[in-house]
Chain A
C-alpha cells in the first residue's frame, strides 16, 4: 500500500492555571496512565499465584458436532497432569448461565455448538504440561451440518442451534430465531402515498471481534471457608459474583471477585464466559487454577453480531423523510449472552435521529453455530446506522441534494420525538449543532480534488435504561481522600474523573485522591461498566458521596466547635463559618480534633426501569455523533486513503477534554475497523479462517486518517455531574455511513456490504465499468 503522508501530532496544550473551574473541565492526565504506558501496570497475566495449577482447554476443529466420547488416557499419562475434566465430571444436569437466557453450559454437553467451545479442560502443574495434555486428549465426534450463516439458520429444516428443550414454552423454540422486536408508528402506507422517491436496498454488516489487546483470563482461588476468590478482568465484577454464586450454590459473601483493570474491554468482557469452569476446577482440585486466554481463544469468546438489513425509505421532493421500513436480521451466536438485547436496543433506533412520520422496524436475533456475540461498543446501533445513513444518501443522490442538506432537513430538534408511539423518545441535545460543526471542520463546501469524495453521517445510541451505582468517599484526617467506585477502568479513564470530582468537591489536591475498584469484597455495588454509563451514574454517586462528606464535616464541626450548625454552610471545597471560609480539609481537621479519624460519605445513583418499555426503561441520555470523512480512492487498486476524518459528539459537558478526545479518536479508529477491514470469515465447517492477528485486520497507526479531528458540542444539558453525558461510543456509530458516502462520491459506485476492503472497492468499480452496476 502507498504510504500515508506523515501525520502532524500537536502536543496537547495544558492550561497553566486550573482557573476557577477547578480540576473538572481540565485535561487532567490519566489516573494510572504512567503505569499503563510504561508497562508497569499489572494485568491479570502479570499477577503471581505461587503453586497455581495451569489450565488448558480442549476444543475440536469444527463448529458443530455431536461429542461421542472423550479419551483422556494419553493426556493423563503426561507428567504433571493433575486432572482432565469433561462434562461427565461436572454436576448433572450441567449448570447453565446467561444474563437473559440461562443457556450456556459450563462445558459442552454432548454437542459442540461453535468453533472453540471447550469440550474438556486439562489441569496441570505447568502450562507446558497442560497444553501438551490438551493436545493429547482425543475427542471422538460426528460433525453436523451446522448453521453458520443467516441463510442456513433461516432455511426451512435448518439445523437447530439450540435444543428446543432449553426454551420450554417458547413458540419459536423450533426455529433459530431466539427473539424478535417490532417497532411501528404512523401509517406507512399513507405516507408512501405522498412519497416522491423510494429507495430500497439490502445492507450487510460483518461479524467482527473486539480484539482487546489484553486477551484476558481467569484465576480461581479456593478459600479456607469453602468459598472462592476469582480474579478476572471483567467489566461487571458484581454480575460475575452473582453468576458464580448462583452456579455454585454459594452465598454472595463466599464469592469475592477481584477485577484487575481490563486491558481493553469494549463490551467483550462484560458477561461471564469461562469463569464458572475455572470455579469448578478450583473447587474440585482444591488448588488455585489459572487460565490466561490466547488471542485466538479471545476471538472465539466474543464478537459483534453481524447484520443483514433490507431497508425501504421514502422522501418527499424536498428530501423530507416520509417513511422508513427496515427488516434487520442480527446474526447472533450459539448462546444468547446479551445478544437479544443488542438486537432489541439497536433496532429501537433503526429510524435514527430523524423526523419520520411512518416507521416499521422488524428485527430478529438469529442463532447460528458461531462465537456467541455479545455487547460491543455501539450495541447494535452501528449496524442499523449503516443501513439508514446509506439510505439517506441514496435518497439525496436521487433528489440532487447533498449529504449534509438532506440531514439538515430531517434531523430532529431538541425535545422533538424521533421514536414515536407508546415508547416515545425525544432528542435530549442540540444535535444540529454537531452536524453543522462536523461539516464545518471537514470543509464540506471546499472544492474536491480528483478521486476524492466526502461523506457525512450521524448516529445515536440509547444510554443505559436502568442502573445502580453506589460509591463511598473517605476524607482522611490529613485532607487526602479515597474513593471506592466499582467502575472497571479498562482504558476509558473513569478513575480520572472521580479524582477530578473529589478534588473539586472536597478541596483535596488532585494527587491526594486515590481510587479503589475491582474488588467486590471492599468496594460497594455497581451494576455495570457498560453503555457509557459510568460518568453519569457513578459520577453522580461520587458527587453525592462528596456532598455527604461535606454535610458530615459541617455537622461535626458544629459539634466540635460549638458553632451552631445553622450558622455554617458548605459549598464546593469550602466550609463557610461565621469567622470566614475554611478549606474543607482544614475544616475537617478541626472537626476531627485530636482523635483524628475520617469522614465517610455515601452516594447512590439509581435509575429504575419501566416495566412496559421495550428497552426496560427510557435511556438516561442519548449519545449523538456526527462524522464527516474525506477519502481519496486509488481506482486501480481500490485502496482508500482517508485524508480527513472529523467526529463531533454531543457531550453535555467535557469533564476532561483530553479524555473526550481520546475516547472519540479511539471510537473513530475502531469504527474504521469494521468499515474498512475487519470481518470474521468462516469456512464450511464453521471454523474462523482468519483466527488471530495475522489475517484478522484492525487499523494500525499507519491506517489512521491523515487528519483526525475531534470536536465536541457542550450545552451542559446532560444528566451527569455538571451537565455531562456518556461519550465513549458515539464516534463509531456512523463511521461506516460517512465513509460509504465518501467512497460513493469519489468513485460513483455505491457499496452496501462492509467492510470496504480494497478488493471490494476495486470489484465494485470494475462492475460499474462494465455497466452491470445500477
Chain B
C-alpha cells in the first residue's frame, strides 16, 4: 500500500512530488486513482493529497477574460456555477454525464483531465473552449494548450515532480455557441462509446472536440464558415473535420459503429451549438 501524505502548502506538495518522482501520485477526488489502486493497475509509493493545501489557486475565479479553475474544483461545483453554465454549456452538459451525482461530488475537473483518458467526457468541451493548463514544479510554472497537454492514453505533459495547478478557459466570443453529445450503452453511469463537443462562432466556423475515437481526446482545426441551415454544407464540413478520428473496436463498440455515431452526434452537436448562438438561448 502506498504512503499517504497530506501537505498544507503548495511548496510541500511540490517537494514531496519531486522527491518521490515517478512513484508519487497526486490525489484529489480519487475517483480514478482509487479504482487503479484497487485493481493494482496503479501501484504508487506515495499519495499526495492536495485537499489540505491552502495556497493552491482558488477552486474557481471568474474574470472579464474567462474562468480560472483550481485543482480542487469538483464537477458538482462546476455544473452548479452560474457563469460556467452561461459561458460553457458544452462543458456543463459533459460534466453532467460523468459518473453519478456521488462521483461528481468527489471528482476534480483538473485531476480528471490529468488522468488523460481518451474517453474523458470533459475533455472534448475543454478542447473546443480552448482550455490551457498551468503546470507547476519546484522549478516554476509553464503553460500549455490542453490539446498539447494530452499525449496519449493516460499520458500528459505533466511529468514527475509536476502538478497541474490551474486550468484556464477563455471567455467565449460574443455570438458563439457550444454543445456536447455522447453515446453510451445505457442511460445511467456509463463510459462514452463516442463523445463530441462542438463550438460554432458567429460566422459559422466550427471546432469539434472528440472523445473515445483516438488514443487521446482530439480537437479539430476551425472549419470554413458554414450556415447551419445548409445541411449539405454542414455535412461537407463534418466530413473534413472527422477525418482525424481513428477509433478502435472494443467491448464498448466497433470501429464502424463509432465512426458512424461520431458523424451523427457531431451533426447534432453542431446544430445544437448553433441554436445556442442566440443570446436568449445562451442564458438558458
A71 within 8 Å of B by Cβ?
no
Cβ of B186 and Cβ of A699 under 8 Å apart?
A: yes
Q: How many residues of B contact A (CB 8 A)?
A: 22
Contacts of A690 in B (CB 8 A): 251
Given A700-B186, A757-B185, A689-B257 contact (CB < 8 Å): no
Assembled-state Cα–Cα distance A700/B184 (Å): 13
Assembled-state Cα–Cα distance A128/B261 (Å): 44
Among the 9-residue stretches A21-29, A78-86, A348-356, A758-766, the one with 4 or more Cβ atoms under 8 Å from chain B is A758-766
| A-B CB contacts (within 8 Å), total count | 55
B145 within 8 Å of A by Cβ?
no
Cβ of A700 and Cβ of B185 under 8 Å apart?
A: no
Cβ of B257 and Cβ of A762 under 8 Å apart?
A: yes
Cβ of B190 and Cβ of A759 under 8 Å apart?
A: no
B140 within 8 Å of A by Cβ?
no
Cβ of B257 and Cβ of A1 under 8 Å apart?
A: no
Cβ of B251 and Cβ of A702 under 8 Å apart?
A: no
Contacts of B182 in A (CB 8 A): 1
By CB atoms of chain A within 10 A, which of B1, B182, B190 has the most?
B190
A4 within 8 Å of B by Cβ?
yes
A6 within 8 Å of B by Cβ?
no
Contact pick for A681, options B185, B251, B261, CB 8 Å: B251
Cβ of B187 and Cβ of A636 under 8 Å apart?
A: no
Given A128-B1, A135-B40, A759-B254, A694-B191 contact (CB < 8 Å): yes
Given A135-B40, A636-B264, A637-B264, A3-B187 contact (CB < 8 Å): yes
A701 within 8 Å of B by Cβ?
yes
Contacts of B252 in A (CB 8 A): 695
Residue of B nearest to A762 (CB): B257
Residue of A nearest to B264 (CB): A636
Smallest Cβ distance from B264 to chain A, in angstroms?
5
Smallest Cβ distance from B149 to chain A, in angstroms?
25
Smallest Cβ distance from B276 to chain A, in angstroms?
17
Given A128-B1, A135-B40, A700-B257 contact (CB < 8 Å): no
A677 within 8 Å of B by Cβ?
yes
Contacts of A128 in B (CB 8 A): 1
Within 717-774 of A, Cβ neighbours of B (below 8 Å) are at 757-759, 762-763, 766
Contacts of B190 in A (CB 8 A): 1, 697
Contacts of A694 in B (CB 8 A): 191
A703 within 8 Å of B by Cβ?
yes
B-contact 0/1 string along A454-488, CB 8 Å cutoff: 00000000000000000000000000000000000
Residue of A nearest to B253 (CB): A759
Secondary structure dominating the interface of A: loop
Contacts of A676 in B (CB 8 A): 186
Smallest Cβ distance from B35 to chain A, in angstroms?
8
Assembled-state Cα–Cα distance A549/B1 (Å): 59
Cβ of B189 and Cβ of A700 under 8 Å apart?
A: yes
B82 within 8 Å of A by Cβ?
no
Q: How many residues of A contact B (CB 8 A)?
A: 27
Assembled-state Cα–Cα distance A759/B257 (Å): 7
Smallest Cβ distance from B87 to chain A, in angstroms?
22
Residue of A nearest to B268 (CB): A636
By CB atoms of chain A within 10 A, which of B1, B183, B187, B191 has the most?
B187
A-contact 0/1 string along B187-202, CB 8 Å cutoff: 1111101000000000
Given A135-B40, A681-B251, A759-B254, A1-B187 contact (CB < 8 Å): yes
B-contact 0/1 string along A636-648, CB 8 Å cutoff: 1101000000000
Cβ of A703 and Cβ of B186 under 8 Å apart?
A: yes
Contacts of B185 in A (CB 8 A): 677, 697, 757-758
Smallest Cβ distance from B119 to chain A, in angstroms?
11
Contacts of A639 in B (CB 8 A): 183
Cβ of A700 and Cβ of B187 under 8 Å apart?
A: yes
Smallest Cβ distance from B183 to chain A, in angstroms?
6
Smallest Cβ distance from B124 to chain A, in angstroms?
16
Assembled-state Cα–Cα distance A759/B249 (Å): 12
Assembled-state Cα–Cα distance A3/B93 (Å): 11
Residue of B nearest to A673 (CB): B186
Contact pick for A1, options B186, B251, B264, CB 8 Å: B186
Contacts of B257 in A (CB 8 A): 759, 762-763
Within 167-188 of B, Cβ neighbours of A (below 8 Å) are at 182-188
Cβ of B188 and Cβ of A702 under 8 Å apart?
A: yes
A-contact 0/1 string along B253-270, CB 8 Å cutoff: 110010011001100000
B-contact 0/1 string along A1-19, CB 8 Å cutoff: 1011000000000000000
By CB atoms of chain A within 10 A, which of B186, B189, B261 has the most?
B186
Contacts of B264 in A (CB 8 A): 636-637
Contact pick for B251, options A689, A701, A766, CB 8 Å: A689
Contacts of A637 in B (CB 8 A): 183, 261, 264-265
Smallest Cβ distance from B244 to chain A, in angstroms?
21
23 contacts between A and B (CB under 8 A): A1-B182, A1-B183, A1-B187, A1-B190, A4-B187, A128-B1, A135-B40, A636-B264, A637-B183, A677-B185, A690-B251, A695-B252, A697-B185, A699-B188, A700-B188, A700-B189, A702-B187, A703-B186, A703-B188, A758-B183, A758-B185, A759-B193, A766-B260
Q: A702-B186, A762-B260 are in contact. List 19 more A-B contacts (CB 8 A).
A: A1-B183, A3-B187, A128-B1, A135-B40, A637-B183, A637-B261, A639-B183, A677-B185, A694-B191, A697-B185, A697-B186, A697-B190, A699-B188, A700-B186, A700-B187, A701-B188, A702-B187, A758-B185, A762-B261
A-B complex: 10 closest residue pairs judged by Cβ atoms: A700-B188, A702-B188, A702-B187, A759-B257, A636-B264, A1-B187, A703-B187, A1-B184, A690-B251, A703-B186
